[in-house]
Chains A and B, each alone.
Chain A
Amino acid sequence: MWTWFYKLASPPSVYAAAGALAPWFLATAAVAIVYGLVDGLVFAPPDYQQGDAFRIVYVHAPSAWMSLFSYTSMALAGAIALVWRIKIGHAVAAASAPIGASFTLLALVTGSLWGKPMWGTYWAWDPRLTSELILLFLYFGVMSLRSAFEDPARGDRAAALLGIVGLVNVPIIHFSVTWWNSLHQGATVAKIGKPAMSLSMLWPLLAMLLGFMLFYGAVLCMRLQGEVLNRERQAKWVREAIKS
């Protein structure tokens, strides 16, 4: 089983799989995002308290979810690379970081734009907002640390370690609205039992989440191909791969 796993995680296999998967991920992401946006902006009813301002949720919540998903993927890939010495893990972590950082920035800015009409301010040092801002700094830290070393292998290891340490922030972000008094609303979709949202509002949100996940998959595959080539450019298989 381990032989199969190591073979699957070999750079040529990953490069080929990423190239094959990226267009499919991208096409299905486009369908899900277009459906989610049309249904969410045109057909979903306005919220009884927030009116049409609630429609910001269709880009804010998926980007916030993806900021956490992307960070967790990055940290786990780094951990796999450190523990099992599977080098492709470092490539996955390096590819994931800029995507996650961009989703985190999007979540912060859209949250700020949503906060102004609802809370009366663009920013508050609220537990959820502050921990999400720390996540953005963690992404910047991981990316800077990776490129701060002359030896790329040392940079990979240092970035993986910081990524793993920073993973502690992920449950803090998720549970911040229940652990502390927060301006931010509590869980609505990921609520145990029943989501506190009508289905006509929920479906487009789930479509947007799926679309953002598939989009992350597509962009990760493209970046991963670049990472693998940068790390393996002298390898024999690269000659064949870049001809095709």
Chain B
Amino acid sequence: MSAAFWSMGGYARYVWPCMALAGVVLAWNLWSARAYRDAARQRARRALAMSPGETA
């Protein structure tokens, strides 16, 4: 990539932080959603282990 591309016509200090922040927000969303689902699975496993015969 050329220096002109990275300089973004003199607006690099505004454009690239926006792109980086968007990457961080998307990555956080993905990570937190997976973590939330996995934690819920763990809790469900524990709950089932503590009451093996219970049904609802």
A residues neighboring B (CB under 8 Å): 26, 33, 37, 41-42, 46, 51-53, 55-56, 59-60, 63, 98-99, 102-103, 105-106, 109-110, 113-114, 116-117, 215, 218-219, 222-223, 225-227, 229-230, 232-236, 238-239, 242
Contacts and interface: CB of A to CB of B under 8 A. Distances in A.
A100 B19 CA distance: 18
6 contacts: A215-B26, A226-B33, A226-B36, A233-B40, A234-B54, A238-B48
A51 B10 contact: yes
Given A229-B44, A242-B41, A53 B25 contact: no
Q: Ordered nearest first, which 9 A-B pairs have the shortest CB separation?
A: A52-B9, A222-B33, A226-B40, A229-B40, A59-B22, A226-B37, A53-B11, A52-B8, A236-B55
Contacts of A46: 9
Interface string B19-46: 1011001101110111011111101110
Contacts of A223: 33, 36-37
B56 interface: yes
A127 B34 CA distance: 36
A56 B33 CA distance: 26
A53 B14 contact: yes
Given A225-B37, A226-B39, A219 B29 contact: yes
Contact of B33 (A105, A106, A219, A239): A219
